[in-house]
Amino acid sequence: MAKRAHLQILRQGVDAWNVWRKQHPDKPQLGRADLYGTDLRDLLEANLSRAQLSGANLSWRNLSGANLSRANLSGANLVLANLSEANLSEAILSEAILNNANLSNANLSEANLEANFGNANLSNANLRKANLVQANLSGAILIGTDLREATLNGANLSGANLSGANLAGANLACASLVDADITDADLTGSRIYGVSAWNLKLGSGTRQQDLVITLDNEPEVTVDNIEVAQFIYLMLNNQKVRNIIDTITSKAVLILGRFSKKRKTILDAIRDELRTRDFLPVIFDFSIPASRDVTDTVKVLASLARFVIADITNATEVRAELHNIVPQFTSLPVQMILQRGHRKFVSEPHLEKYPWVLPAFPYETKEHLLANLNQNVVGPAEAKVLEIRDQPR
């Protein structure tokens, strides 16, 4: 069992601890301030405030409830250590290794935590005003954690569980939240300039009001959705992005069809001809399995398109999706094409009742289609685009 004298030596710092170890050769030499395998029950709820423990090996140790406020634990090995309910307020943990450590209900307010917390349990911990600049919190559990006004610039929170966490006013500039769970988390007023927010898990209780997307030295711009924040910032500050959006919405043509290898040349021919006319062809081939819901994909593409060309020849899926998008996109002209010798589908007359749906153009061969593409396909669709735009709103 660790004696009280040992605790006093430890309080004197790493160097004193190492000197003591050398003076007692009967004790196993376990390296620089290496406490691995030592019974630290005397340290439970111990007062190690301001202790110099830089580089100490405290892996697997039970420090539950210990007072480590303002302690220097920089570079310490705290892998799988139990620091639950410990007081680490204003402690220095820069470059410490806390992978899989248990910090649940610990107080880390105003601490310097530029450390590796991979898969650590920080649930319900108090990290208010903590410095987590460049900290690695990948896969960490931060359920219900108080991160109000914490500094998380450049922190890696990818895959972290932040459900119910309080991040109000936190600085998340350039942090990675890829695959993070922020269900019911509060991000109100947090700074999210440059944040990576791909595939976030959100919930109806996630609070995202007044998110600041600009730098400290820029006029403040706020949004209420973290997933669109980056896009809004780019739109405001990057002319190229605005040009791209204008190009997509003014030149994109969505081509829908189900093309076998035998008829793939028709798809390629339409695309190539549209390119020569300065359009941006976007092809959705229903013969290729989609990685996400087909209807959602088609709706997103339709929302960006100038008009649609839909080959309804033996394409049940195309016909079904037309029934989904036609009633919803009232300003999107749809030009259907149908190869001669194939029957119209039963509900085609119903679709053609919509003013923005043009009668199907019957083509015989690829050559016939291309020869008439401008007059009977692109031309009518373009005319309908202008007609819709000129209508009074």
Is residue 254 within 8 Å of 308, Cβ to Cβ?
yes
Is residue 334 within 8 Å of 355, Cβ to Cβ?
no
- What is the share, in percent, of the chain residues with pLDDT greater than 70? 82
User: Which pLDDT value is given to residue 168?
Assistant: 93
Give mean pLDDT, residues 230-255: 74
How far apart (Å, rounded) are the C-alpha atoms in residues 365 and 371?
A: 10
User: Which pLDDT value is given to residue 360?
Assistant: 92
User: Which pLDDT value is given to residue 169?
Assistant: 93
Average pLDDT, the chain: 83
User: Which pLDDT value is given to residue 227?
Assistant: 83
Query: Band of the pLDDT at 307, cuts 50, 70, 90?
Result: very high
Give mean pLDDT, residues 270-279: 88
Q: Tell me: the pLDDT tens digits for 11-31?
A: 676 667 667 656 765 543 333
How far apart (Å, rounded) are the C-alpha atoms in residues 366 and 272?
A: 12
Lowest mean pLDDT among 81-90, 109-118, 120-129, 250-259: 250-259
Per DSSP, helices labelled H in the chain are 4-11, 14-23, 226-237, 239-251, 264-276, 294-304, 316-325, 348-351, 366-371, 373, 379-390
User: Which pLDDT value is given to residue 363?
Assistant: 94
Is residue 79 within 8 Å of 60, Cβ to Cβ?
yes
Which residue in the block uniquely carries the two structure tokens 């610039």? 153
- What is the share, in percent, of the chain residues with pLDDT greater than 90? 31
User: Which pLDDT value is given to residue 262?
Assistant: 65
The whole model's pTM is what?
A: 0.60
User: Which pLDDT value is given to residue 362?
Assistant: 94
User: Which pLDDT value is given to residue 17?
Assistant: 61
DSSP string, 222-248: EES-HHHHHHHHHHHH-HHHHHHHHHH
Give mean pLDDT, residues 277-305: 75
Give the residue with greater pLDDT, 359 vs 2. Answer: 359
- Please say if the pLDDT value at position 217 is more than 50: yes
List of domains in the chain: 242-390 (3.40.50.450)
Give mean pLDDT, residues 2-17: 63
User: Which pLDDT value is given to residue 185?
Assistant: 94
Please give the C-alpha separations between residue 37 and each of 2, 138, 149, 264, in angstroms, as whole numbers.
11, 28, 38, 69
Q: Tell me: the pLDDT tens digits for 36-46?
A: 444 444 444 55
Give mean pLDDT, residues 318-345: 89
Where in the chain does DSSP place strands (E)? 211-212, 222-223, 252-257, 280-285, 307-311, 334-339, 357-363
Give the residue with greater pLDDT, 10 vs 165. Answer: 165
DSSP string, 295-308: HHHHHHHHHH-SEE
User: Which pLDDT value is given to residue 371?
Assistant: 93
